[in-house]
Structure 1
Amino acid sequence: MDFSTLEALKPTIISFQTLLLFVMFIGLVIWAYSKRRKHKFDAIANSIFDDEDLAGSASQGTGQDRAGANKE
């Protein structure tokens, strides 16, 4: 295989690469939006609110004013 053969195959290789990436993208979208994963993704999305009660009770010892300084 010489250089001219590789140059002739270049458009074909690029076309297959584009097609492969497009199929992988469609697969990823289907995986992300499948109904089996919805419950898990919702739980992960709402996990930031789970620790709100713990963080609120830890800071009740001292109050802060609007500037962030501790009140006496």
Structure 2
Amino acid sequence: MDYGIIQGIITLVVMFTFLGIFSWAYSSRRKDQFDEAANLVFEDESSTKSGEQK
């Protein structure tokens, strides 16, 4: 194997990894979880557990 083939294989692995993460992030099955996570900053602090201290 020469350097060009190894470079091509690495490029394909990185490209498929990117496409996998992209499809996971924009999947409609994940939308509810991402919306919930996005709204966490707007929740009232009094709704946290009573035993927790900062």
Q: Same fold (TM over 0.5)?
A: yes
Which runs of 5 or more residues in structure 1 are unaligned? 1-5, 55-72
Task: List 4+ stretches of structure 1 deviating above 6 A.
Answer: none
Structure 1 distance, partners of 2:14, 2:44, is: 39
Task: Name the larger-Rg structure.
Answer: 1
Q: How many residues align?
A: 46
State the match for 2:7 in structure 1: 14
Over aligned residue pairs, what C-alpha RMSD do you find?
1.3
TM-score scaled by length of structure 2? 0.77
Structure 2 distance, partners of 1:37, 1:11, is: 38
Which of 37, 42, 52 is 1:44 aligned to?
37
TM-score scaled by length of structure 1? 0.59
